[in-house]
Amino acid sequence: MKDSAEVVGEFGELVNMTAQELREWLKSDDSVSAGWAGDKTDGESVGHESGRKILEILEANPGMEPDKYTDEQVQHMRKVVSYCKRHLAQEERSNNEKPVEEVVKTKSFASLKNWGHDCIKAREEKKKKWKGKKSDEGQKAGDKREAAVVIDDDDDGEKAGKKRKTEGEEEEAEDVEDDLQEIEEEDEENDEDFVGGEEEDEDDENEADSEADGEDEGEEKKKKQKKKGAQKGGSQGKGPQKGQTVSWNWAGGQPEGKVLDVKGEETSIQTKRGNEVTRKGNPDDPAVVLDTGKSQALKLDHELND
């Protein structure tokens, strides 16, 4: 079972709507009409009630300080994390292939927003991050080409320069292809993380799963594809530099922290409350220990903003 600190962290990553955005959404007809009322006599859906509780959590602790949440709030966060992971594992890939106009008409779009997750907003943030990464790659590729055309002073300089330019362009093409493959693998691994996390918390989240079943009107879970067994070898260590200030997405905001350590292995830290938080880092996606000023945080490299 995940400790409260890890649940709070995942809640902040999955709930990407601000308090103001969620407040306005809950007033809409689409929000009120979405979902299942269960045994409630007032007709309010389970999802809409959850949205009200999420709004209370966001407004009660706008600074998003982990030690200031009540046990009741953490318990609801656990339900939110379970519900969002479950639906994203089932529907995120197919929704990303649809135009925005179609996605906003789906039942899952309205249901997820009631639980604090705007999938269109998440898609745009991911696209923006991907474009930033490709822009950096383009700059590096340009530097490679510029270096490749430097002509040696000897008689064979021109030929040597042309040869280096050709080699540089071939390497650039291979790098781009490798990066695209890494992005696809990362998407698959993230989807499997959703399923794995849900199984890990199964005993403690039966209530949340029961409510999600009602919200879905009995929809069955889809099985995820198995992770690719082969991984690239010989890659160099990645991640930010020690002392660098980085940010990450959390509950509609972007808190910052100073990098204390970067480890390409399973890493754990202890929170103020004495809870242990663990991330399974590896050389390609190392665990990053951060100093937020008031406490420490632990993230994987891919969870940080560029």
Cα–Cα distance, 265 to 280 (Å, whole number): 6
Which has more confidence, 158 or 88? 88
Contact 286, 262 (CB under 8 A): yes
pTM to 2 decimal places:
0.51
Output b/e per residue, 68-99; b: 16+ Cβ within 10 A: ebeeebbbbbbbbbbbbbbbbbbbbeebeeee
What is the per-residue pLDDT for 53?
96
195-204 mean pLDDT: 39
Task: Return the sign of the alpha-carbon dihedral for residues 223, 229, 230, 235.
Answer: positive
Contact 176, 169 (CB under 8 A): no
Per-residue pLDDT of 239-279, as tens digits, reads 999 999 998 877 567 788 999 999 999 999 887 667 778 88
Q: Is residue 94's pLDDT more than 50?
A: yes
Contact 266, 280 (CB under 8 A): yes
Q: Is residue 91's pLDDT more than 70?
A: yes
What is the per-residue pLDDT for 11?
94
Q: Is residue 186's pLDDT more than 80?
A: no
What is the per-residue pLDDT for 296?
85
Cα–Cα distance, 104 to 98 (Å, whole number): 10
Cα–Cα distance, 60 to 69 (Å, whole number): 9
- pLDDT confidence of 228, banded at 50, 70, 90? very low
Which has more confidence, 249 or 172? 249
What is the per-residue pLDDT for 200?
40
Q: Is residue 54's pLDDT more than 90?
A: yes
Which has more confidence, 82 or 176? 82
